[in-house]
Structure 1
């Protein structure tokens, strides 16, 4: 069974780069440039991990993450909040994300953060 990751970001370059890298590592990658109907969308994919951009249209990453974390069947999916915002740590905490990753990020950093949340999900 493949590992599924869902990436929310309105930057097509980030979606392309992350998709390429993660697919090379065996991930089944799904992407979205917005967070419309986020709960239904996530239920349809059932990802193992979510990468959430702060500036994602329409409601923004904080509200989108809070929405997911408020849903009983979705709250256990690890959310990695990622942004170039200087205050990413407090934004991630406000959103209820499991961890965060500052943009721009090193691809090794991306891999390590994903590995960490996957390991904690199993534990």
Structure 2
């Protein structure tokens, strides 16, 4: 089953995403509350998609996404930037994210962005 990594320090949001994706048999979900050692975490979990919160400890979502997108191996993993910030599109563009999902989101919005990201991603094991 495909894996999704949710990077969010709000455990409620992470749990909601996990419940929706697991219950619909869309993905196996891993959650982390910070982006410390993000490359090592990606190598361990091997996600097909990464959800990245904007205000996540320690470096923030923009820096964490830039780190992923500058990595020679992991740059092809689709990153969904998700935040409640009104400037989500600008933040996602500055970070180099592939998709956005504004908080709060509906189940259909979550499933839609996951389906798009799975279709575009190369890590679809």
C-alpha contact (below 8 Å) 2:49/2:121 kept by paired residues: no
Q: Deviations over 1:57-90 (max 9, x none)?
A: 1000000000000101100000000000010001
2:51 is aligned with 1:51: yes
Equivalent-residue separation in structure 2 for 1:85 and 1:74 (angstroms): 26
If the length of structure 2 is used for normalisation, what is the TM-score?
Answer: 0.94
Specify the SS of the correspondent of 1:75: helix
Equivalent-residue separation in structure 2 for 1:37 and 1:81 (angstroms): 18
C-alpha contact (below 8 Å) 2:78/2:120 kept by paired residues: no
* Residue number in structure 1 paired with 2:7: 8
Aligned residues: CA RMSD:
0.9
* Residue number in structure 2 paired with 1:98: 98
Structure 1: 5+ residue stretches without partners: none
Q: Deviations over 1:3-24 (max 9, x none)?
A: 1000000111111111111111
**Cα deviation, residue 118, structure 1:** 1.2
Specify the SS of the correspondent of 2:74: coil
Runs of 4+ in 1 over 4 A off after TM superposition: none
Specify the SS of the correspondent of 2:121: helix
Map 1:24-63; keep pairs closer than 5 Å.
Answer: 24-26=23-25, 27-63=27-63
Equivalent-residue separation in structure 2 for 1:21 and 1:104 (angstroms): 14
Equivalent-residue separation in structure 1 for 2:97 and 2:76 (angstroms): 10
**Cα deviation, residue 121, structure 1:** 2.5
Higher RCO, 1 or 2 (CA under 8 Å, sep at least 6)? Answer: 2
